Chains A and B, each alone.
Chain A
Amino acid sequence: SQQGEEDPQALSIQEGENATMNCSYKTSINNLQWYRQNSGRGLVHLILIRSNEREKHSGRLRVTLDTSKKSSSLLITASRAADTASYFCATVDGNSGYSTLTFGKGTMLLVSP
């Protein structure tokens, strides 16, 4: 079953603009991660934020986590055409002790030159 929802489902922007994607989840988590997927195939890990963290940066990526609202956001600054892909948030359950990932449905990002 899917953990939660990303919104928007699709996002279309111009190069140079910022892209913000949101993710909501339902259960307690150990950590939350964001992945990128091109052409419906291989998933690439972008960034991980732990349940006791509120914000994390990696290059042009900024992730926030609000455990009280069970939500996270991914901000991509100064977007490029090469950022066009689907983006998924995934959570690791806070109680199971295992690292299995529960994914959302994803946001399709289109960055036009």
Chain B
Amino acid sequence: GAGVSQTPSNKVTEKGKYVELRCDPISGHTALYWYRQSLGQGPEFLIYFQGTGAADDSGLPNDRFFAVRPEGSVSTLKIQRTERGDSAVYLCASSSMGLAGPSYNEQFFGPGTRLTVL
């Protein structure tokens, strides 16, 4: 079956512009995660959705970042007034459940969107 897909694969924008990054999770997965990976670093958590609601958005760096998942499937990460420091690979992952219980559900990652802010 299809894995997690992300579009676009690459996005180049100018400082101050608005961008939207899209994530299509694996069908039926209720949990969806966004991570950001800067060059030479490990991914850093941004936000976690359980269904349509953001269960944990503690990783969003500031209020320029916002994410939605209106129907509990596709999610869009939105960045306003982009800055050069926002340049990174944005990774999306999904899993069948998001709770850390005895039955762990593996997160499956998409290929990422490489965002470059000039």
Contacts and interface: CB of A to CB of B under 8 A. Distances in A.
A42 B35 CA distance: 12
Contact of A99 (B35, B37, B107, B110): B107
A93 B56 CA distance: 13
Given A43-B91, A88-B42, A106-B42, A100 B56 contact: yes
B43 A42 contact: no
B95 interface: yes
Nearest to B4: A42
Contacts of B56: 96, 98, 100
A104 B42 contact: yes
Interface residues of A, number: 28
A105 B42 contact: yes
B31 A99 contact: yes
A101 B109 CA distance: 12
A99 B100 contact: yes
A48 interface: yes
Contact of B109 (A43, A50, A100): A43
B55 interface: yes
A74 B44 CA distance: 21
Contact of A45 (B41, B89, B100, B106): B106
Contacts of A43: 43, 91, 93, 109
B112 interface: yes
Given A40-B89, A99-B105, A99-B107, A30 B43 contact: no
Contacts of B105: 99
A50 to B, nearest CB: 8
- Which of the listed residues B31, B45, B97 has the most CB atoms from chain A within 10 Å of its own CB? B45
B100 A93 contact: yes
Interface of B: 31, 33, 35, 37, 39-45, 48, 55-56, 59, 89, 91, 93, 95, 97-100, 104-112
